[in-house]
Structure 1
């Protein structure tokens, strides 16, 4: 099943079952409210928002109480990671209304605090759908999440982002990160300071972040707010 130039398929989930495959993924349950948040809302990752149905992973948005909301996250930390290769997600993105959908990688050993480059591990956001229009950000974070945090972000034009399914891809080698939208390169990184050289694991999530455009108070909180993922595939 490897694509041309992609190598062998080393990991995949087509989400054809009835529940999340616990051998591949962990479903998170934790509060994620930003310390800097000023609008009074709180939010969590909750397993109750994560389901598998009709050949898709579905991550819903829900209200837990007044001003308290739930998104969701699955990740393969401790179950699958890789160093170099190609990863692709096929996703249907909901409208952005105070929440965003994300497909990303995280260094298995975490981000090294104070690191001046990404070689020892990075958070690589293939997509964060934080804009109401057809665009998103592709971002590389390193140096930890404290005072030494550094990020390199690029805004990506994404025709039809909130309509139908789209493929989100990344080809990662020791010399290049190539981000793709529907098979077309949208960001190419060759600066070695921005390229991780260590194992990373995939993550899918719905995040109720204050800097996402719109307000979560206006989101429908029904299936129109749901992130649908058809597959995740990794080749090496």
Structure 2
């Protein structure tokens, strides 16, 4: 992808992330102002995501048919696929846009949690090894919303997802989280990770063991994880359960 095509023509030249004084140059954006997902920028996953230890008998998948673009928004919905089988949604820029250090900002509408959760996150473009630090790649969760309240998690996962898995996280409550649109941002430098909600700093990480030093790629998703509060079988399978993304922008 060329530098010019990576930035949406409709992104204002004056766009800056909220709460970050010197973000650098805009290098990637999508305003979702077309009629379909821009496949030059995004992958829409088709993948089973059922956890091996899931105890409620449900199975679930990321399904491309739950991804749509219209009215200037990316919609990530949920659907019923069969008896105790459900579809969520995920888009990512793996192998299309990846970066090391900079600022990423999502502007999103977060739906009520009912056995599913909204997430804006990053993942390393290289396979994580078990080195005891996140230097070789991490999962960075700007937001995960498994709660029925206005509470959300911000987390870092590293050393893989097996027995060596390690995590650091914080929980934040913001009244009005599920009303309107909010910005979730990460300002990432070699020495610090600063997480922001609507331009307000909510978590700062300076421990070198938690800071990725390799390429990462942005992800937005609607996840039907077992630890999401509530029962997906009682969730409305309509637009009210969709994660909506107004834009994503990256500066370096």
| Fold shared per TM-score above 0.5 | yes
The alpha-carbon deviation at position 217 of structure 1 amounts to 1.1
**Partners in 2 of 1:159 and 1:8 — Cα distance?**
32
Tell me, yes or no, if structure 1 residue 91 matches structure 2 residue 105.
no
* Secondary structure of 1:48 counterpart: helix
**Partners in 2 of 1:196 and 1:224 — Cα distance?**
35
**Partners in 2 of 1:209 and 1:130 — Cα distance?**
8
Contact 1:86 1:170 in 2 (8 A): yes
**Partners in 1 of 2:242 and 2:222 — Cα distance?**
9
Map of 1:1-236 to 2, 5 A cutoff?
1=13, 2-3=15-16, 4-112=21-129, 114-236=130-252
The alpha-carbon deviation at position 110 of structure 1 amounts to 2.5
Listed one character per residue, the Cα deviations across residues 143-188 of structure 1 (whole Å, up to 9, x for unaligned) are 0111111111111122211111000000000010001111100010
Structure 2 regions of 5+ residues with no counterpart? 1-12
**Partners in 2 of 1:155 and 1:115 — Cα distance?**
26
* Secondary structure of 1:10 counterpart: strand
The alpha-carbon deviation at position 218 of structure 1 amounts to 1.1
* Secondary structure of 2:168 counterpart: strand
